[in-house]
A and B are shown apart, each in its own frame.
Chain A
Amino acid sequence: MGAKTKKTVPFRGTPEQEAQLRAVIAEHKDEQGALMPVLQKAQDIYGYLPIEVQKIISDEMDIPMEKIYGVVTFYAQFSLFPKGKYNISVCLGTACYVKGSGDLYEKLKEILGIDGGECTEDGKFSLEACRCIGACGLAPVLTINEDVYGRLGVDDLADILAKYE
């Protein structure tokens, strides 16, 4: 794991975000097994789940911090660190892998100068590998935020990144 994402990024939550979060908690508080949906919505609000956000959830839902931290670190989708403005996700599912998505992933690491799970220093791109997104017909596939790019070769990468300059 790279050092870049491990750097402590100061928490910049706004009062509006906090109000949204408290509303979400109030809505789910009495449901059985509400922690997962609350964490998912909290990540939608903040983009990640810093310790400050976990603390609010812990206090409001009366769940110990260590349980919340345990759940957050268990699931791949929850992130303790903010992602880049453009998050690149390369599918390493089997169908994409046998068609060369591993090469795409390596090439992106080389172009961006970061490892998987890291973010470039300017905060622009972050890179991660993901498991099958289900677009196997377009293999190999990568996504940049909501955009899907398929039937790729390593030579296509520079042009795709250029769109986000």
Chain B
Amino acid sequence: MKSLDEIKVIRDEMAAELLTRDESTEANGTKYRKHVLICGGTGCTSSGSAAIEKALAEELAKNNLTDVQIVKTGCFGLCALGPIMIVYPEGAFYSMVKSEDIAEIVSTHLVEGGQPVARLLYQETVTEDGIKSLNDTAFYSKQHRVALRNCGAINPECIDEYIGKDGYQALAKVLKEMTPEDVIQTILDSGLRGRGGGGFPTGMKWKLARNIVPDADQKYVCCNADEGDPGAFMDRSVLEGDPHVVLEAMAIAGYAIGATQGYIYVRAEYPIAVDRLRIAIAQAREYGVLGKNIFGTGFDFDIDLRLGAGAFVCGEETALMTSIEGNRGEPRPRPPFPAEKGLFGKPTILNNVETYANIPQIILNGAEWFAGMGTEKSKGTKVFALGGKINNTGLVEVPMGTTLRTVVEEIGGGIPNGKKFKAAQTGGPSGGCIAADNIDIPIDYDNLIAIGSMMGSGGLIVMDEDNCMVDIAKFFLEFTVDESCGKCTPCRIGTKRMYEMLDKITKGQATLEDIDKLEELCYYIKANSLCGLGQTAPNPVLSTLKNFREEYIAHVVDKKCPAGVCKDLLQYSIDAEKCIGCGMCARQCPASAISKTDYVAPGHKLPSLAIDTDKCVKCGACMPTCKFKAISKG
């Protein structure tokens, strides 16, 4: 248990030490000569950052460098270059670090008076006169970090570092200086909208929960950390990199609506996030920023974790609450809305992780500061998980209203192998594809809906010319069929029928009439499903039908897959004029479908080869073997 004064002492001491990691000032902390930050997020852990941390600790011990601090942080964002290591105060950014390199980094760089090992640095930061700041690179310069401000900057397992970044000051301000109504008004004025996908005004949700049942004996604050969109990892990164921000924001929400208990519903597939949340909750209780009589104000608030068990529908608010209650995670009809009858039948608010991550900053900096960023109806910033066919896979946070082109081409570094941008998928299985002609539209809630997609939670998957849009639509429907809870008929049976029609199209067995039927079914399912999962399930099909109808027609009428993905429609052939008859492809063919012909092309010595399409299993093994690019598919 710490008093507010004691916490302020910790803040001042820690903030002074954290100056070492602040590139905007020359001042440095005094406890350590260097801070070495190693990313301990899921991406970098998967690429081996734990081994690097161990090697570094051993090497530092061997060299007796006790004045170098190792800090395991959350995600820096640039996952494609992992494992990542940054050395402060100089801000030297090492990418794709290997354990073998550690000894050299220690002996050349981390020793007293050492210099960075230039060849191991992220090359974009290396300039003729030394190294430039990471903040000046293409990936970071266009970003603006609010929700992610501490991710990759502090040790998420150390509450003192969070406090050093003004942590729990917003909670103190709320409890000491503001009424619950003030808090709600501030959130309303900020224009913050739910970051989980729907975009409902957060302040409105809180206001309803505060007022709708005036005499409620118990209310709940829930956090939706059941990030189920495949390819989305914004919330995980916040939980892994800055868990305390979520706890602080939930306590603020509890004060605002009059709740004393919070639940975080987090995916069990995120073991690192779960661990860090457990540690953070224990530390917050120890410091008395969770628990009874917080800061001596008489306000009680505590938080428990609940683990999901792999059901996408549990990201839907009513299903999530049903799941916390210990049931099958099936949604229930609204109204009554959770603000009136939510968890265990009590008034409840449910916000997403990223929404919460904005709250303390709004309280500290004011509603106007937040409302000063973004577009007219979408304020603040948005975090996107950039993935798919993009050079800089990773986590980015940009002001609302940034164009897709800026995100893909500048921050994302464009598409690998010189391929062309075809579409970006946002909103996961509930969203749609944005085609190339809309690449200059400013991204915000309303614009995305207007072009047939949606913000969603922030997954942004880039596709190039090698991706078949029908196949992508089928992929999402397969997901929806799998994840439909089965409670309502339109979703349970309708999505299955949609999947079957798409399957027929990708196999070249469909007619144009099937496309019309498919479209009609989409509208039925949208109109008649019980919850958001069913209502949005047709979106991937509708948006690809709208933007890439010609691709559907090619599958149906020409029996061809223009992107060369749908196997049943593919034919491999050998260009007899280019083939020199070397036989490399025939040796690789598992079906013995390639044999010699009688034709010898002019200038060649051996007869060319041909593929027997009846025998060919379309595995594609032959293509890479041909040095003369004589084999094509289409």
Residue of A nearest to B325 (CB): A33
Q: Cβ of A33 and Cβ of B236 under 8 Å apart?
A: no
Residues of B within 8 A of A135 (CB): 42-43, 46, 79
Interface residues of A in 69-104 (CB under 8 A from B): 70-71, 74-78, 92-99
Give bound CA distance, A35 to B329, whole Å: 12
Tell me whether A133 is interfacial, beta carbon within 8 Å.
yes
Q: Cβ of B230 and Cβ of A92 under 8 Å apart?
A: yes
- A5-13, A16-24, A137-145, A157-165: which lies at the interface: A137-145
Residue of B nearest to A36 (CB): B326
Q: Cβ of B43 and Cβ of A40 under 8 Å apart?
A: no
Q: Cβ of A98 and Cβ of B463 under 8 Å apart?
A: yes
Residues of A within 8 A of B43 (CB): 134-138
Expressed in whole angstroms, the minimum distance between the Cβ of A117 and any Cβ of chain B is 12
Interface residues of B in 325-352 (CB under 8 A from A): 325-330, 344
Tell me whether A65 is interfacial, beta carbon within 8 Å.
no
Tell me whether A150 is interfacial, beta carbon within 8 Å.
yes
Q: Cβ of B328 and Cβ of A94 under 8 Å apart?
A: no
Q: Cβ of A141 and Cβ of B46 under 8 Å apart?
A: yes
Given A74-B311, A95-B461, does the pair A33, B306 have CB atoms closer than 8 Å? yes
Given A98-B463, A139-B393, does the pair A33, B311 have CB atoms closer than 8 Å? no
Give bound CA distance, A137 to B96, whole Å: 12
Partner of A136, one of B233, B324, B329, B476: B233
Expressed in whole angstroms, the minimum distance between the Cβ of A98 and any Cβ of chain B is 5
Expressed in whole angstroms, the minimum distance between the Cβ of A132 and any Cβ of chain B is 4
Residues of B within 8 A of A150 (CB): 46-47
Tell me whether B394 is interfacial, beta carbon within 8 Å.
yes
Q: How many residues does chain B have at the interface if contact means C-beta atoms less than 8 Å apart?
A: 51
Tell me whether A34 is interfacial, beta carbon within 8 Å.
yes
Expressed in whole angstroms, the minimum distance between the Cβ of B454 and any Cβ of chain A is 15
Interface residues of B in 28-64 (CB under 8 A from A): 42-43, 45-47
Tell me whether A114 is interfacial, beta carbon within 8 Å.
no
Q: Cβ of A136 and Cβ of B268 under 8 Å apart?
A: no
Expressed in whole angstroms, the minimum distance between the Cβ of A35 and any Cβ of chain B is 4
Give bound CA distance, A71 to B330, whole Å: 10
Partner of A137, one of B229, B236, B393, B461: B393
Residues of B within 8 A of A131 (CB): 228, 230, 269, 310, 312, 479
Tell me whether B246 is interfacial, beta carbon within 8 Å.
no
0/1 interface trace, chain B 472-514, chain A, CB 8 Å (1 if under): 1001100100000100000000000000000000000000000
Tell me whether B543 is interfacial, beta carbon within 8 Å.
no
Residue of B nearest to A135 (CB): B46
Give bound CA distance, A77 to B329, whole Å: 13
Expressed in whole angstroms, the minimum distance between the Cβ of B470 and any Cβ of chain A is 14
Give bound CA distance, A76 to B269, whole Å: 11
Given A71-B328, A75-B329, A135-B43, does the pair A37, B307 have CB atoms closer than 8 Å? yes
Tell me whether A32 is interfacial, beta carbon within 8 Å.
yes
Given A37-B306, A78-B309, does the pair A94, B475 have CB atoms closer than 8 Å? yes
Q: Cβ of B232 and Cβ of A132 under 8 Å apart?
A: yes
Tell me whether A45 is interfacial, beta carbon within 8 Å.
no
Partner of B327, one of A71, A76, A137: A71
Residues of A within 8 A of B82 (CB): 137-138
Residues of B within 8 A of A51 (CB): none
Tell me whether B515 is interfacial, beta carbon within 8 Å.
no
Partner of B485, one of A32, A74, A92, A148: A74
Give bound CA distance, A154 to B473, whole Å: 24
Given A93-B230, A98-B461, A137-B394, does the pair A148, B46 have CB atoms closer than 8 Å? yes
Q: Cβ of A70 and Cβ of B328 under 8 Å apart?
A: yes
Residues of A within 8 A of B307 (CB): 36-37, 40
Give bound CA distance, A40 to B46, whole Å: 24
Expressed in whole angstroms, the minimum distance between the Cβ of A25 and any Cβ of chain B is 13
Give bound CA distance, A78 to B308, whole Å: 11
Give bound CA distance, A157 to B50, whole Å: 24
Given A74-B485, A75-B311, A131-B230, does the pair A40, B268 have CB atoms closer than 8 Å? yes
Given A36-B323, A94-B387, does the pair A137, B79 have CB atoms closer than 8 Å? yes
Tell me whether A56 is interfacial, beta carbon within 8 Å.
no
Give bound CA distance, A13 to B308, whole Å: 25
Tell me whether B425 is interfacial, beta carbon within 8 Å.
yes
Residues of B within 8 A of A33 (CB): 306, 324-326, 344
Q: Cβ of B425 and Cβ of A136 under 8 Å apart?
A: no
Tell me whether A112 is interfacial, beta carbon within 8 Å.
no
Given A74-B485, A95-B231, A134-B43, does the pair A139, B306 have CB atoms closer than 8 Å? no
21 of the cross-chain contacts (CB-CB < 8 Å) are: A32-B325, A32-B326, A33-B325, A33-B344, A74-B328, A75-B309, A76-B309, A94-B428, A94-B475, A95-B388, A98-B389, A98-B472, A131-B269, A132-B229, A132-B230, A135-B42, A136-B387, A137-B82, A138-B46, A139-B388, A148-B45
Write the residues of chain B forming the contact surface with A, with a CB cutoff of 8 angstroms. 42-43, 45-47, 79-80, 82, 228-233, 236, 268-270, 306-312, 323-330, 344, 385, 387-389, 393-394, 425, 428, 459, 461, 463, 467, 472, 475-476, 479, 485
Query: What 10 A-B pairs have minimum CB-CB distances, sorted nearest first?
Result: A137-B79, A93-B230, A95-B387, A76-B310, A75-B309, A94-B231, A35-B326, A77-B310, A148-B46, A33-B326
Extra pairs beyond A98-B463, A139-B393 (9, CB < 8 Å): A40-B307, A70-B328, A71-B326, A74-B328, A98-B467, A131-B312, A132-B269, A135-B46, A138-B47
